[in-house]
Chain A
Amino acid sequence: MYRHDEFDQAFLRARIERFRDQVARRLSGALTEEEFRPLRLQNGVYLQLHAYMLRVAIPYGTLNSAQMRRLADIAERWDRGYGHFTTRQNIQFNWPRLQDIPDILEALAEVGMHAIQTSGNCVRNVTADHLAGAAADEIEDPRPTAELLRQWSTDHPEFAFLPRKFKIAVSGAPRDRAVTRAHDIGLRMIRDGVGQPGYEVSVGGGLGRTPVVGQVIRDFLPKAHLLPYVEAILRVYNLHGRRDNKHKARIKILMLERGIEALRAEVEAEFARQMAAEGGPAVIPDPAVVARIEAAFAPPPLVPATGPAEAYETARRSDPVFRAWTDTNVLPHRVPGHAIATVTLKAPGAAPGDATAEQMRVLADLARCFSHDELRVSHEQNIVLPHVRLDDLPAIHAVLRRHGLATANAGLIGDVIACPGLDYCALATARSIPIAQEIGRRFADPELQRAIGEMRIKISGCINACGHHHVGTIGILGLEKAGRENYQITLGGDHGENLTLGERAGPGFDAEEVVPAIERLIRAYLELRSGPEESFLAAYRRLGMAPFKAALYGATEGRHAA
C-alpha cells in the first residue's frame, strides 16, 4: 500500500504548522470566526453538539496496522477510548479538545495520516472500493487512481473555496462497491474496444435533501486524461455552481438546472481549452510519478494454494459458529486459497461503526499476522481483512470472538448503517444510533438473520443523509415533528451498480414504533417471497410497494395524517 514519503511528511509538517498559526490568529482576533471556520473545517475540525469533532482521513479506506494502532492510541489519550468509522471510510473522534488538535495531527502525521479536506467546501477525501486489490471481479485496482486524485486535490489553490463540498469515488470492478453514482464525480474503470483501461465518468450524484443518481458525462475517458478532465469539471462547477443558496450549491443542482448535455458541452470545452493551453495542461502527471504510485499498490506476495484448505474445511465441519461466520462474512479472493474477511462493527446493541481502542489493536494485530499488514474501512462501516489465507480463518475467528468482533451478520439485517445522529451531530433532527441498536437486538438471532437474507438497513438522523438511507433496502430517515422524533421509511433502495433511490412508504413513525414497523415489514416479506433465494429487494421489485405498505400501515391506518 501507499506509504508517505519525504515529500508527504514535509507537506504534513508545513500544514500542521500553518494550522497551529491559524488557531493562534483566531485566538488573537486576526482571523474572525467566519474566516477561521473554513480553515478549521479543511483540517477536519467540526464544532459538534457537545464538543469539537476531528474527522481523520483514511484515503480510499486503506490503512496498515501501525496506523490502526495509532488511532487506538489517539482514542485513549485524547478521546473517550473509542472512535467512529464513517460511511465515507473515515474515522471520527467525538470528544477532542481544540487545543489538543495540533498535537493529535502530529501523532497522525508520524504514521502518515492526516485530517486534510475531510470537511469544508473543497474536494473531500477520495473513496474507493474497499475490496480493491483483492476482489475476484476487478479490472484494475482503483487505489492508484484515488491516490493520484488525492495528491492532485490536496491543497489545490483553485478549489479550496468551492460553492459546496465535492466528493469523488472510484470503482475498479463491474460490481460497484463504492456507490460511485452517489458522488459528485463517480469513476468506474472500464476497458475500451481495444482493451485499454479508462473510466466511465458520472457526475452530479449525491444523496442529501435532494437525492440524485449521477449521470454519465463521459462514456470513456483514457486514464492519461483523468486529471485535466476532473479539473475541467471542477472549474466549470467553481465558476457556475450556485452560491446564493447552500442547499442548491452542489454540482447536482447545476446538472439538473442546465441539463447533462449542456454541462457536458461546457466541461468538454473547458477540457479542450486546457489541453490546448500554452505549455500543455497544468496537471498531466509525469509517467514516472504515476508508475511509482502504481507500484506502491502492487499486490502482496500471496502464494496460490494448490490443494484444498484442510484446516478451514475441518473447522467448517466441526464448528457451526465458525461456519455461520464464514457463510456471511467471508468473500472469495482472487488468489486461490485466500479470502477476504469482513469484521462487522455491528454486534447486537452496538453503535454501528464504533470501535474501542482495544478492538482497534486486536484488528491491527490480526492484520499484521494474517493480512499482509492491511486493513480496509468499508462505507458500510465495517473493517475488512483483505488478504487472509483460508487456513488462517479459524485462528482469526477465535481471536475475533474473544473480543466481541465475530458477529456473523455482514450484509444481513443486523449490519445496519447509521450516522451519528442527534447523540452527537449539530445538524441532526433525530437519533440514529438507538434505532440501530434496537434493530440489532430485535434481530440478534443469527438463524433469523440468515433466514431473512440480504438486507441493507440504512439510517440517517436528518435529511443530509450521511447514513445513506435513500439507498438502503429499508431506509430510515429521522426527522423532528412537533417536538418529537419521527422516522420515515423508504423501501427498495439499492447501493450497487444499479443505484436506486428508495421510495417513501408513507407517514412516519414515532421512535418506539419504528422497530415494530420493521418487524411487520420483515414478516410480510417472509410470507410473500417466492422462496428463500428471493431477497427482500427482489421481492419488492416483483410485488411493488402495496403489500409492504399494507404491512406497515394496515393495523394503524388513519392514526397519522402526515
Chain B
Amino acid sequence: MPIVTRNGFAPVPPADFHPPEAAAALRAAAIDLPNDADPERLAPHFDRIALIRIPFPVFADGRGFSLARRLRDLGYRGRLRAAGHLIADQFRLALACGFDEVEIDDALAARQPEHLWRAETGPDPRARLRGRAAG
C-alpha cells in the first residue's frame, strides 16, 4: 500500500484513524472524513487535527475534490490525503484541490507505477486569469 506524494511512492506511515466526532477529544489526530460529510463541523477542531483522509470509492466520483477545496477554504492547514481509487492522471488534480498525498492499493501501484504520478500541472488557465500565468 504505497502513498504517493510530490516526492514519489513511499510506504504508508502508521496512523490510527478516527471518525470526525472524535476530533474534539484528540490531539494531532488522524481523521477519516466521509465524502458526504459537512466539513464545517470540523472547523473548530482544525488545530487538533494533523491528517484528514477522504475516500474515493471510484475514480469517477469527484466529490473528494470539492471537499478538499472546502476544507482549505475553511482554513485547514494540516495534511490532506485522498485514499482509494484515484488514477495517476488525477494526481495533479488532487494536488491542485489541496491534497498533499494519495493512498492507493498495491494492484493500482503495479498497474500505474511511480513515474506516471506526475505532479506538474503544465500551463494553468486559472493562474492566467489571476494574472499569474507562467506559461
Residues of A within 8 A of B (CB): 6-7, 10-11, 14-15, 18, 22, 25, 29-31, 35, 38-39, 121, 148, 151-152, 154-162, 227, 235, 238-239, 243, 273-274, 277-278, 282-286, 288-289
A285 contacts B133, C-beta separation under 8 Å:
no
B87 adjacent to A162 (CB under 8 Å): no
Tell me how many residue pairs across A and B have CB atoms closer than 8 Å: 110
Judged by a CB distance under 8 angstroms, whether B131 is at the interface is: yes
Q: B77 to chain A: closest CB distance in Å?
A: 10
Chain B stretch 115-133: residues in CB contact (< 8 A) with chain A: 116, 121-126, 128-131, 133
B135–A156 CB distance below 8 A: no
Q: Are the C-beta atoms of A161 and B60 separated by less than 8 Å?
A: yes
Are B62 and A159 neighbours in the complex by a CB distance under 8 Å?
yes
Instruction: Determine if B45 is an interface residue (Cβ-Cβ < 8 Å).
Output: no
Which residues of chain A have C-beta atoms less than 8 A from B89's C-beta? 18, 22, 31, 39
| Cβ-closest chain A residue relative to B57 | A243
Docked-complex contact A238 and B111, CB < 8 angstroms: no
User: B92 at interface (Cβ–Cβ under 8 A)?
Assistant: yes
Q: Counting chain A CB atoms within 10 Å of each CB, which of B36, B60, B93, B96 scores highest?
A: B60
- Contact status B133-A284, CB under 8 Å: no
The 3 closest A-B pairs by CB, nearest first: A161-B62, A286-B131, A157-B96
**Chain B residues within an 8 Å CB radius of A7:** 123, 125, 128, 133, 135
Q: CA of A161 to CA of B59 in the docked complex: distance in angstroms?
A: 8
- Name B's A-contacting residues (CB within 8 A): 36, 59-63, 65-67, 69-70, 73-75, 87, 89-90, 92-94, 96-97, 111-112, 116, 121-126, 128-131, 133, 135
- Shortest distance between the CB of B35 and any CB in chain A (Å): 8
Q: How far is the CB of A263 from chain B (nearest CB, A)?
A: 16
Tell whether, in the assembled complex, residue A11 and residue B130 are in contact, meaning their CB atoms are under 8 Å apart: no
Per the bound structure, the CA–CA distance linking A273 and B72 in Å amounts to: 11
User: Separation in Å of the B121 CB from the closest CB of chain A?
Assistant: 8
A30 CA to B110 CA in the complex, in Å? Answer: 9
A270 closest partner in B (C-beta): B70
Contacts A278-B75, A285-B130; is A151 near B66 (CB within 8 Å)? Answer: no
| Inter-chain contact A283/B126, CB cutoff 8 Å | yes
A286 CB to nearest chain B CB (Å): 3
The closest CB in chain B to the CB of A288 belongs to: B131
Assembled-state Cα–Cα distance A44/B61 (Å): 20
Interchain nearest-CB distance for A548 vs B (Å): 45
Contact (Cβ within 8 A) A152 B125: yes
Q: How far is the CB of B113 from chain A (nearest CB, A)?
A: 8
Establish whether residues A11 and B116, one from each chain, have CB atoms under 8 Å apart when the complex forms.
Answer: no
